Structure 1
Amino acid sequence: MSGYAFELDRVLVVDDEVRSLETITRALDDDFEVICANSAADAEALLEQQPVQVILCDQRMPERTGVEFLADTRERWPQIPRIIISGYTDSENIIHAINQAGIFHYLTKPWHPEQLLNVVKNAVQLFHLQQQNQLLANELNFSASTLETRLRSQRRELQREYQLDRIVRADDSPMNALIERLQQVARYDVSVMISGESGTGKELLARAIHYNSPRADKPFVIENCGALHDELLSSELFGHKKGAFTGATTDHVGLFEKANGGTIFLDEIGEVSPAFQVKLLRVLQEGEIRPLGSNQSKRVNVRVVAATNRDLLAEVKAKRFRADLYYRLTTVELPVLPLRQRPMDILPIAESLLREYAPVFDCGEARFSAELGACLQAYRWPGNVREMQNEIQRLLVFSRCDGANDGPKLLQPQQLSAPLRADLPQALEPVEIEDYVADALEDGPRLSLKTQVEALERQMILRALDYFQGNKSKAAQALGLSRVGLANKLKRYQIDPFEEIDDGRFDH
């Protein structure tokens, strides 16, 4: 580990139950340095001794509640994001905790490890952004023109980052048609619905729409609509006035108002309740918001981009999603294919992620071996790009820590043993079948069905052998044959490995 300069961010976990401390530590210790305290007093002592980037606290503790402890830390260490875990799900309790202790996030039990990890990652990112902001504030006083120049420069950088030609894909990717359509849509002020499985990059496309539109120099804000109860979601999107509900101690500006002139991205829109759908529809129809507790409406000029991993038309037919809201949000729909349906994009995206993460893990100019690349290509990636991001980082961690050179051995079992992809011979598309038969037959298409099937089978075997670089065991497994069965077919179809592939890589 000598020379490894990557320093982990530190998370303080406060809970009086040892088992809870152990469970949370297991969920976080791959990504963070976790320090634990079983009381508020011990936690304060640790905070005085060493810097901490995030505080994660249980609500029920014997001396002080989590909210009381975090309210105290808010006074002394206001820059540290605070997260609380509780079994209470009442919205008034949550809002009270958020306002009293300045809670960054409120997690309810039972929580999922991936959910907890994502919340803590977001909190760490907020901490560093606050630090950077503070450094900027401590610099020389900028004149208005200097500040405006800096803002313009930052906007130009964002516009460059989200240029459509920088969205990674293969030359023959089906994403090309989607990007072309996005380019046409971005310039017009219409609502867009991005549909697709989780992890396919819907937020990336939403940002690309904004930064390739006339609104690019205005705000872009995001809300995950599936993460909050109706009252909290209303507060976040439309704002609230002081005293609007228990715990509302100050006015709060909603995201629609913050995004005025720009774009708001409503992620997981299919998760909102029927009651909230009515509120949102009214805002979209009237172009006005009314903060909770206020009797005055405010005009807003906001472009809405929404995203869902649900089949919203099916939800409309089942009367779980309002048809009028669906059509209001879906002037244009952009469906994003999962990675398994665009396998040509897998290696370009993986290589792009490798270039991005390798310097972070001090891995220099890391590259995929041919065998590792084949494993990545063969896997179906049910978690799509998000799963791939995690896997590339995991590969870099283990190759960096273990000094391992044999990439495939570092893969997780489900990826190492991935079957041949659906786009390979055993599940050819109809057009591909016609092409293979046409290539294989010299006497035209009027031959018997048996002859045509045999010709197709021969081509499938050849393609599988070529894909696995002559490894007959892997080819047989992918084709659903035994090794003996494959050997018999090689003999039957007079396939000579050394003639078909001249580099001698067939195993015997």
Structure 2
Amino acid sequence: MNLPPPDLLPVVLVVDDEARSREAMRRTLDEEFHILEASQAEEARALMERHEVAVILCDQRMPGVSGVEFLKEARQRWPEAVRIIVSGYTDSEDIITGLNEAGIHQYVLKPWVPDALLATVRAAAETRTLQRSLQRLDVDLRTATPVLRQRRSEALARARAVFDFERIERAPGSPLDGVCAMAERLARYDLPVLVLGESGTGKELLARAMHYASPRAAQPFVTENCAAIADTLLESELFGHKRGAFTGAYDDHPGLFQRAHGGTIFLDEIGETSPAFQVKLLRVLQEGEVRPVGSATPVPVDVRVIAATHRDLEAEVRAGRFRQDLYYRVAGVTLSVPPLRERLGDIAPIAQRLLHDVGLELGRTALRFADDVAPVLLGYPWPGNIRELRNEIRRAAALSDEDIVPARLFSLKVLHGQAGVSAASGNGHANGVALPASGTLAQRLEAMEAMLLREVMLRLRWNKTHAARELGLSRVGLRAKLLRFGLEEK
């Protein structure tokens, strides 16, 4: 029987059917957290009923109910608990689906590193503390005294500074400059905006910057990923529900449109919604009111809608998968965020910013890249964009024993400059290598030279004699170029 947790320690629930794994996690975490242990989902449910859990650390492979299935249930019953999945299979379909459906904060790859695991759980607990603080602040602000109004003003000033357009990391002359300039102009007007761009390009960050530059900045900014949950749950999440509307609806639940009243709602991946749900969303946007599930009384709402999608919505309209009338409602103005492979000049400053953030997360603020990292980052097409770049940097930093992070610690696909696509795919890659589409002439030529050298060396199985002959170089000249671009190591 676990003792009641000390008041000052966040509670972490470790769910794993292997006793040795639970013990290892306990030894890693118990100095900073109060640890509860469960060997299966049923035992975990009982603990969650009795304790206020901050973080759930759950193994994927368990008898009976899998980790993702349990975390899906936990999201509905205990939404404030931050959910982390532990697995040895990064490409598992269950894991990929569960990241969205179960609202998983992060997954930890086996075998895990103690310091990295501690940093991950620490960040998750801080996220939960911040969420609760924001909820309490929202309640306080609604009954604001002069002191609270002053605090609100100060918090708004800090938020505007953090989410300023100038804080969106990019290089001078970046293709993103024009997008940010247009977004900043549009921010002052109450127009619906549709943000187009691939997953991981920073569409939500752009939407936040627009909100905090708008007259609605003092009101809430709320977000929902429309692809993350089923239509029935999405309707309840956005429009709210009344007590008893369905099984499990124990209390009235205000939807995100009501919570965003006076502010902005960001609907990510709106292109993934079904035609049936699109009809309901269209009515809300036309009438300016929501009808909670199970209620006959509409509730007026005043929100600005910023939507985003990675799909070509005009093509979806022509194909009959997206309603034309809804398209014109959400696409008052359209902004397109270019993918990272078309912003080669932005990779270096973004990578430096991400390394700084990862250093803070891992408690290693002196982290810096080795000289051989830049050509490697420029030579990969980054199909997952900034999100993929962040994951690669976090992985390399966690694996590095020194403060200098070398290129060899990045994954093989990044080192080889390949993303598993062919030139025939039309994505601007030749033999899986990204071709630069922007940047200065010198930057583009240098990146292309590095990619050509890598392609030749890989194709000739690192035979320098044959490579030098094909490229018309001496072995000394070839070696100098390989050293220059950080390609000397296979």
**What is the TM-score with the length of structure 1 in the denominator?**
0.69
- Please name the residue that 1:417 is paired with: 416
- Please name the residue that 1:236 is paired with: 237
Q: Counterpart of 1:170 in 2: which secondary structure?
A: coil
Compared with structure 1, are the counterparts of its residues 143 and 111 closer, same or farther at alpha carbon in structure 2 (3 Å cutoff)?
Answer: same
Q: Counterpart of 2:181 in 1: which secondary structure?
A: helix
Determine the C-alpha separation between the residues in 2 that align with 1:416 and 1:223.
35
Q: Is 1:207 equivalent to 2:190 in the alignment?
A: no
Structure 1 residue 223 displacement after superposition: 0.9
Which one of the candidate residues 33, 51, 57 is aligned to 1:77? Answer: 51
Determine the C-alpha separation between the residues in 1 that align with 2:159 and 2:263.
14
Q: Counterpart of 1:245 in 2: which secondary structure?
A: coil
Compared with structure 1, are the counterparts of its residues 376 and 248 closer, same or farther at alpha carbon in structure 2 (3 Å cutoff)?
Answer: same
* Structure 2 unmatched runs, 5+: 1-8, 86-91, 107-122, 420-426
Assess if the C-alpha contact under 8 Å between 2:344 and 2:437 holds in 1: no
Compared with structure 1, are the counterparts of its residues 428 and 320 closer, same or farther at alpha carbon in structure 2 (3 Å cutoff)?
Answer: closer
- Please name the residue that 1:285 is paired with: 286
- Please name the residue that 2:361 is paired with: 360
Assess if the C-alpha contact under 8 Å between 1:95 and 1:248 holds in 2: no
* Structure 1 unmatched runs, 5+: 1-7, 37-45, 437-459
Q: What are the Cα deviations for residues 201-232 of structure 1, in whole angstroms up to 9, with x where unaligned?
A: 11101101111111111100011111222221
What is the one-letter code of the residue matched to 2:411? Q
Compared with structure 1, are the counterparts of its residues 96 and 124 closer, same or farther at alpha carbon in structure 2 (3 Å cutoff)?
Answer: closer
Q: Counterpart of 1:358 in 2: which secondary structure?
A: helix
Q: Is 1:330 equivalent to 2:331 in the alignment?
A: yes
- Please name the residue that 1:304 is paired with: 305
Determine the C-alpha separation between the residues in 2 that align with 1:301 and 1:392.
41
Equivalent residues in 2 for 1:97-116, closer than 5 Å: 101-104=77-80, 111-112=94-95, 115-116=98-99
Assess if the C-alpha contact under 8 Å between 1:79 and 1:127 holds in 2: no
Q: What are the Cα deviations for residues 157-214 of structure 1, in whole angstroms up to 9, with x where unaligned?
A: 1101111111111112111111111112111111111111111111101101111111
Q: Counterpart of 1:388 in 2: which secondary structure?
A: helix
- Sequence identity, in percent? 39
What is the one-letter code of the residue matched to 1:51? H
Determine the C-alpha separation between the residues in 2 that align with 1:302 and 1:135.
22
- Please name the residue that 1:255 is paired with: 256
How many residue pairs get aligned? The number is 427
Determine the C-alpha separation between the residues in 2 that align with 1:51 and 1:206.
37
- Please name the residue that 1:445 is paired with: none
Equivalent residues in 2 for 1:143-292, closer than 5 Å: 144-292=145-293
Compared with structure 1, are the counterparts of its residues 429 and 96 closer, same or farther at alpha carbon in structure 2 (3 Å cutoff)?
Answer: closer
Determine the C-alpha separation between the residues in 1 that align with 2:301 and 2:348.
43
Compared with structure 1, are the counterparts of its residues 102 and 10 closer, same or farther at alpha carbon in structure 2 (3 Å cutoff)?
Answer: closer
Compared with structure 1, are the counterparts of its residues 124 and 488 closer, same or farther at alpha carbon in structure 2 (3 Å cutoff)?
Answer: closer
Structure 1 residue 81 displacement after superposition: 5.8
Structure 1 residue 243 displacement after superposition: 1.6
Structure 1 residue 129 displacement after superposition: 2.4
- Please name the residue that 2:377 is paired with: 376
**What is the TM-score with the length of structure 2 in the denominator?**
0.72
Assess if the C-alpha contact under 8 Å between 1:476 and 1:486 holds in 2: no
What is the one-letter code of the residue matched to 2:408? K
For the pair shown, which has the larger CA radius of gyration, 1 or 2? 1
Determine the C-alpha separation between the residues in 2 that align with 1:134 and 1:304.
22
Compared with structure 1, are the counterparts of its residues 489 and 395 closer, same or farther at alpha carbon in structure 2 (3 Å cutoff)?
Answer: closer
Determine the C-alpha separation between the residues in 2 that align with 1:190 and 1:313.
19
- Please name the residue that 2:112 is paired with: none
Assess if the C-alpha contact under 8 Å between 2:376 and 2:414 holds in 1: yes
Structure 1 residue 111 displacement after superposition: 2.7
What is the one-letter code of the residue matched to 1:291? P
Structure 1 residue 98 displacement after superposition: 6.9
Structure 1 residue 78 displacement after superposition: 3.0
What is the one-letter code of the residue matched to 1:287? G
Structure 1 residue 422 displacement after superposition: 6.2
Compared with structure 1, are the counterparts of its residues 296 and 180 closer, same or farther at alpha carbon in structure 2 (3 Å cutoff)?
Answer: same
Compared with structure 1, are the counterparts of its residues 157 and 133 closer, same or farther at alpha carbon in structure 2 (3 Å cutoff)?
Answer: closer
Q: Counterpart of 1:359 in 2: which secondary structure?
A: helix
Equivalent residues in 2 for 1:10-29, closer than 5 Å: 11-14=12-15, 18=17
Structure 1 residue 118 displacement after superposition: 6.3
Q: Counterpart of 1:284 in 2: which secondary structure?
A: helix
What is the one-letter code of the residue matched to 2:370? S
Assess if the C-alpha contact under 8 Å between 2:284 and 2:290 holds in 1: yes
Assess if the C-alpha contact under 8 Å between 1:12 and 1:35 holds in 2: no
